Structure 1
Amino acid sequence: MKLIQSRDNPFFKSLKRLAESGRERRKTGKTLLDGIHLVEAYEVAIGPVETLVVGESALAGGEIAGFVGGRETVVLADALLRDLGLVDTPSGLLAVVAMPTGKAVTDLAIDSVLLDGVQDPGNVGTLLRTAAAAGVKQVLLSPGCAAAWSPKVLRAGQGAHFVLAIHEEADLATFMADYRGITAVTCLDGATSLYAAKLESPLAWVFGAEGQGVSTDLIAAARLRIKIPMPGAVESLNVAAAAAVCLFEAVRRRLG
């Protein structure tokens, strides 16, 4: 095991760049995972990680020490691990991994989720996790969305990234025009209740940015306009919560 204690260490600097820069992640084709669960999910779905990095105190005992036992690791001083600022509460275990390349071309005939300018990393990760849990295989993110392979989105996704075809910087309008199924958007004006709408497969759901919702051009392009009935005292749902309601209503119909 190699112990790194200096912020001037070249390997630490490379970790810092991956933690902070989407450009660096795209250039190198690499990203960082935080925590045993993500590392295990990656290795089951993709294969061995490139490098395991563990905080110095985590080697004293416990789950992480057991997990890395017998494996080649790089040890970071705890202060350096915190300095990466990878997530709010670092687990003590990181991995450097190659980002899966996925399919280069979108599939126009499968259930999909389209994200229009969703900027919050936690929401994007939760949306990916919800889509994967609902059996969706493909997610498209428009320009302006949080970077799908950033550490915070990865942590919120809890392994969903490794079972999805993820397309970033996607032209959602073109995809919707060419899609061979039904496109559905959540909005209020001229919308049908989710529980009365025909949710035929294949189905592409469009979910919009926090606050602004889906852009007007995409609303106009959608074949279905859907609203979620809310008899309570609030007028809207968090985008990730709204997506969960819609996706699992479609699951309920198909399983019923």
Structure 2
Amino acid sequence: MSRDGGRLFTPRTPRIVAARRLQRRREREQSGRFLAEGPQAVREAVAAGAVIELFGTVAALDRYAALAADAEQVSAVTDEALEALADTVQPQGLVAVCRQVDIGLREALAKRPRLIAVAADIRDPGNAGTILRTADAAGAGAVVFAGDAVDPYNGKCVRASAGSLFHVDVVRDRAPDAVLDALRAAGVQVLAATGHGADDLDDLLDAGELARPTAWLFGSEAHGLPADLLAAADRRVRVPIHGAAESLNLAAAAAVCLYASARALR
């Protein structure tokens, strides 16, 4: 660890100004960098070797001294500088500039994952990050952000993933149809989650259909999956509703589907 001694970075310090630009998607895409906020995200980023520089208040660097010791470059900042970098109302004192960690779909499929989540055109970063976290918890090997999906390095998405961004292979691909073709070529069945699916999730689980390598296709909360992707999936699957609720929200439905596959794959 190297640490700037004696002086605290302020909001006007050039490195703080440069890091703040990463709050914009265009800057993240051009630089290949992003911000991870809070001790949980920073801890996972450090473990993954993704941290370029760690910024922290004096109090936070003292509190998380062991964590800071594992970062290559550490810079102490004023409370005002930390607030300028943070994306939350009550920041926890640590923000790291990280290298983006996504890989290509071909590279991800070469590892032969048995469970994959595909977020197609999902715009809400909270939902996207929650799906990433849930996919990680369910044992998925990859999460694909397909089509016009939210940037997985959006601050809210990074926070919602709770560090899982650094645990699974993250793929970004603008062509959902090409993603489906690649999945099938790799021997992976594609199941589209939809409230009006012809197949019942419980029936597929009971029949052993979820014991195969599977990619779950999830659409946006507001609009669901586009018609062409629904048609292209191998099956269109509904989560059974046993009570009076009209439906499940996206994150809840994704959790049910991914864990059904996780159970079958065990």
TM bucket normalised to smaller: 0.7 to 0.9
Correspondence 1:100-139 to 2 at 5 A: 100-103=101-104, 105=106, 106-107=108-109, 110=113, 111-139=115-143
Segments of 5+ residues of structure 2 without an aligned counterpart are: none
Aligned-residue offset at 1:226: 0.8
**3-state SS in 2 of match to 1:40:** helix
Q: Distance in 2 between matches of 1:184 and 1:84?
A: 39
**3-state SS in 2 of match to 1:167:** strand
Q: Which amino acid aligns with 2:44?
A: A
More helix by share: 2
What's the TM-score once normalised by structure 2's chain length? 0.85
The answer to whether the 8 Å contact 1:122/1:156 transfers is yes
Partner of residue 13, structure 2: 9
Q: Distance in 1 between matches of 2:163 and 2:45?
A: 7
Partner of residue 39, structure 1: 42
Task: Name whichever of 234-243 and 138-147 sits farther off.
Answer: 138-147
Q: Distance in 1 between matches of 2:265 and 2:66?
A: 42
Pick one of 220, 237, 242 that aligns with 2:248: 237
The answer to whether the 8 Å contact 2:130/2:161 transfers is yes
Correspondence 1:180-219 to 2 at 5 A: 180-197=187-204, 198-219=209-230
Q: Distance in 1 between matches of 2:54 and 2:220?
A: 35
Pick one of 24, 27, 46 that aligns with 2:27: 24
**3-state SS in 2 of match to 1:199:** helix
Q: Distance in 2 between matches of 1:70 and 1:102?
A: 25
> What is the Cα-based RMSD across aligned positions, in Å?
2.3
Q: Percent identity, aligned pairs only?
A: 31
Aligned-residue offset at 1:214: 0.9
Partner of residue 96, structure 2: 95
Aligned residues: 250
Q: Which amino acid aligns with 1:196?
A: D
User: Are the structure 2 counterparts of residues 56 and 123 from structure 1 closer, same or farther at C-alpha, using a change threshold of 3 Å?
Assistant: same
Segments of 5+ residues of structure 1 without an aligned counterpart are: none
Partner of residue 50, structure 1: 52
**3-state SS in 2 of match to 1:115:** strand
Q: Distance in 2 between matches of 1:86 and 1:177?
A: 37
